[in-house]
């Protein structure tokens, strides 16, 4: 009788666990080394100077205030939209609206800001229309109002998509009973919707707060002056223009303490749920609603769609004339093509590195289930959200300064930092599909001795092919849209696409900036389309389980 191979030894589990632990410890070491080198260069810190200096005190207070207010406004917009989408699961344009909502994560900030200026700026579409009716309206995009508007534009759709994901996770029997009982209004909210929303609300609020707290490009373009300066911008000014390492290190420590405390509270309260939107349809169970509710829901979703679509439409309509091949556009293309090459040279390695790091992290998290060591790869994957990329990049630059002597090495450092910044989002993309592999298949593979390359090829790859392509697209897109790190380390004479667009906006070349924004947006769409085709499973059985990089599942 043929005997089965012996069960895989415990060392195999450790082999999958240890890379994640090493990666997590490496991230912690990088943060400590980066901050340490900055602190050494800065010398002794004077914490009390923050409260003695009106400028520094104002920066800290304004950063906290605008981030907290942005969270409140984003969630106030996101929650009704998510409830309306969960209630009306079938209507024309729902898939398009969901795709627009998902664009908020990968849309380059500088591109969206260009579209927002085209709609809400002094000469914008909506502002000009309102000025005809209310000449003395007093609206000014530059300042607190513009910052809050841009933050809501980016974070409300992301929050609504994540809340919708939680609502779609409600068990079908529970929804069916609620529909049969005719629950609506307060009772539906209290018994069905709130119990699932409150599980992800701490983590969602922490995510939105962190994104608004560390906002850079929005403050740089829409801040309007020193009165609207955040910690991230103050750190950039201290490093780039004043060479004041002590002040940069002090502000970095304050930012780390605030963001770190917030995420510690989120994890301490057992944060649940994914912080990335998935692409699965909800249960097709229609809840009863009155006619006023239907009209109100339709109006709300229509206004939200217009709110998201108008800036993108402004980018397209204002950018098309600049990209039409003419004699005047030759100068623009002479800048676009080299900037595109530099952006891809930085973004592709960053995306690949983020995917590899995410795979190591999710594999370690699964193998470490139930162990204390699980906290190392899981928690440290969120560390790039807490650490200011400008500070980490500057610290590593100072640490490696004797060996960094040319532009290519500086670009390598920028690519490395961008890959770290994309890691938390790519982890969220891969975590769910990686956990979908049932334990019985893994147990049979252990009994048959299917390890190493064969285990990956026959068990994980069919399930992970499309999520990996999606994660790679997210990593590349997030890196291509980066404006913070490259603005600090990049050369003005060799800009990437976001830096080139910022230079055009700063010199009031609005038409060229619109063309650059449309070029960058088209390039990102092309990247998602190409990686969607590359990640498409060959067999129809696998295609039914795979997910589409943009929008809903392919079998839908």
How does residue 297 score in pLDDT terms, banded at 50, 70 and 90? Answer: confident
**What pLDDT, on a 0 to 100 scale, did the predictor assign at position 224?**
67
How does residue 16 score in pLDDT terms, banded at 50, 70 and 90? Answer: low
pLDDT at residue 51 is higher than 70: yes
Section 383-402 average pLDDT: 75
Mean pLDDT for the chain overall? 77
DSSP secondary structure letters along 45-77: --TTHHHH-HHHHHHHHHHHHHHHHHHHHHHHH
How does residue 149 score in pLDDT terms, banded at 50, 70 and 90? Answer: very high
How does residue 552 score in pLDDT terms, banded at 50, 70 and 90? Answer: very low
DSSP secondary structure letters along 110-124: HHHHHHHHHHHSTT-
**What pLDDT, on a 0 to 100 scale, did the predictor assign at position 147?**
92
Q: How far apart are CA 28 and CA 22, in angstroms?
A: 10
Would you say how long the chain is, in residues? Answer: 556
pLDDT at residue 76 is higher than 90: yes
Homologous superfamily assigned to 10-41+324-556 = MetI-like (1.10.3720.10)
The answer to which of 14-18, 136-140, 304-308, 427-431 has the lowest mean pLDDT is: 14-18
**What pLDDT, on a 0 to 100 scale, did the predictor assign at position 8?**
43
> CB-side exposure of 207: number of CA atoms within 13 Å?
26
pLDDT at residue 360 is higher than 60: yes
pLDDT at residue 550 is higher than 60: no
Three-state SS for 381?
A: coil
pLDDT at residue 91 is higher than 50: yes
**What pLDDT, on a 0 to 100 scale, did the predictor assign at position 553?**
34
Higher pLDDT, 39 or 366: 39
pLDDT at residue 121 is higher than 90: no
How does residue 514 score in pLDDT terms, banded at 50, 70 and 90? Answer: confident
pLDDT at residue 13 is higher than 90: no
Greatest CA separation for the chain: 92
Three-state SS for 15?
A: helix
- CB-based burial, 501-531: b 16+ in 10 Å, e otherwise: bbbbbeeebbbbbbbbbbbbbebbeebbeeb
Q: How far apart are CA 468 and CA 54, in angstroms?
A: 48
Contacts of residue 253, Cβ cutoff 8 Å, sequence gap at least 6: 35, 45
Higher pLDDT, 463 or 44: 463
Section 493-513 average pLDDT: 83
- CB-based burial, 408-446: b 16+ in 10 Å, e otherwise: eebbebbbbbbbbbbbbbbbbbbbebbeebeeeebeebb
**What pLDDT, on a 0 to 100 scale, did the predictor assign at position 446?**
66
**What pLDDT, on a 0 to 100 scale, did the predictor assign at position 283?**
47
Q: Are residues 533 and 469 in contact, defined by beta-carbon separation less than 8 angstroms?
A: no
Looking at domain 55-317, its CATH architecture is: Orthogonal Bundle (1.10)
Range with the largest mean pLDDT of 186-190, 228-232, 277-281:
228-232
Contacts of residue 28, Cβ cutoff 8 Å, sequence gap at least 6: 380, 383
**What pLDDT, on a 0 to 100 scale, did the predictor assign at position 67?**
93
Percent of the chain with pLDDT over 90: 11
Higher pLDDT, 181 or 540: 181
Range with the largest mean pLDDT of 96-100, 217-221, 350-354, 435-439:
350-354
| Annotated domain spans of the chain | 10-41+324-556, 55-317
Per-residue pLDDT tens over the stretch 439-483: 666 667 666 666 666 676 777 777 788 888 888 998 999 888 888
The answer to which of 38-47, 69-78, 125-134, 380-389 has the lowest mean pLDDT is: 38-47
Q: How far apart are CA 80 and CA 73, in angstroms?
A: 12
Section 69-85 average pLDDT: 92
**What pLDDT, on a 0 to 100 scale, did the predictor assign at position 78?**
92
How does residue 186 score in pLDDT terms, banded at 50, 70 and 90? Answer: low
């Amino acid at each position: 009788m043929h005997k089965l191979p012996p069960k895989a030894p415990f060392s195999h589990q450790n082999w999958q666990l240890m890379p994640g632990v090493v990666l997590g410890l490496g991230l912690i070491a990088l943060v400590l080394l980066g901050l340490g080198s900055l602190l050494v260069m800065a010398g002794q810190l004077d914490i009390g100077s923050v409260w003695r200096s009106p400028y520094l005190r104002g920066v800290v207070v304004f950063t906290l205030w605008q981030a907290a207010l942005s969270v409140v406004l984003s969630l106030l917009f996101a929650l009704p939209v998510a409830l309306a989408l969960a209630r009306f699961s079938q209507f024309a344009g729902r898939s398009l609206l969901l795709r627009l909502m998902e664009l908020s994560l990968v849309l380059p900030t500088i591109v969206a800001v260009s579209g927002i200026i085209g709609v809400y700026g002094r000469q914008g579409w909506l502002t000009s229309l309102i000025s005809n009716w209310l000449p003395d309206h007093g609206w000014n995009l530059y300042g607190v109002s513009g910052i809050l508007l841009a933050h809501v534009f980016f974070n409300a759709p992301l929050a609504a998509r994540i809340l919708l994901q939680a609502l779609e996770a409600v068990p079908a029997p529970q929804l069916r009973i609620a529909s049969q009982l005719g629950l609506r209004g307060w009772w539906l909210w209290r018994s069905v919707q709130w119990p699932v929303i409150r599980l992800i609300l701490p983590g969602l609020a922490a995510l939105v707060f962190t994104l608004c707290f560390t906002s850079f490009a929005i403050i740089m373009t829409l801040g309007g002056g020193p009165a609207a300066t955040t910690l991230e911008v103050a750190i950039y000014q201290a490093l780039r223009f004043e060479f004041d390492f002590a002040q940069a290190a002090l502000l970095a420590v304050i930012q780390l303490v605030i963001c770190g405390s917030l995420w510690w509270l989120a994890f301490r309260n057992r944060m649940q749920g994914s912080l990335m939107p998935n692409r699965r349809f909800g249960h097709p169970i229609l809840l009863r609603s009155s006619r006023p509710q239907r009209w109100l829901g339709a109006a709300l979703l229509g206004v939200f769609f217009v709110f998201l679509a108008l800036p993108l439409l402004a980018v397209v309509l204002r950018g098309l004339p600049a990209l039409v091949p003419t004699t005047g556009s030759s100068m623009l293309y002479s800048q676009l093509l080299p900037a595109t090459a530099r952006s891809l040279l930085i973004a592709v390695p960053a995306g690949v590195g983020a995917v590899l790091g995410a795979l190591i992290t999710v594999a370690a998290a699964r193998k470490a289930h139930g162990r204390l060591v699980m906290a190392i790869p899981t928690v440290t994957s969120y560390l790039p959200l807490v650490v200011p990329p400008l500070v980490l990049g500057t610290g590593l630059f100072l640490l490696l300064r004797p060996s960094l002597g040319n532009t290519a090495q500086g670009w390598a450092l920028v690519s490395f930092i961008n890959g770290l910044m994309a890691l938390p989002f790519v982890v969220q993309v891969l975590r769910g599909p990686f956990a979908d592999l049932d334990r019985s298949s893994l147990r049979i593979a252990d009994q048959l001795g299917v390890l190493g390359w064969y285990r990956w090829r026959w068990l994980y790859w069919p399930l992970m092919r499309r999520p990996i392509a999606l994660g790679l697209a997210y990593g590349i897109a997030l890196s291509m849209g980066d404006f913070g790190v490259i603005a600090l380390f990049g050369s003005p004479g060799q800009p990437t696409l976001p830096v080139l667009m910022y230079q055009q906006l700063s010199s009031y070349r609005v038409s060229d900036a619109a063309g650059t924004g449309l070029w960058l947006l088209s390039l990102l769409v092309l990247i998602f389309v190409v990686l969607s085709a590359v990640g498409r499973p060959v067999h129809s059985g696998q295609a039914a389980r795979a997910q589409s990089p943009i929008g809903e599942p392919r079998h839908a």
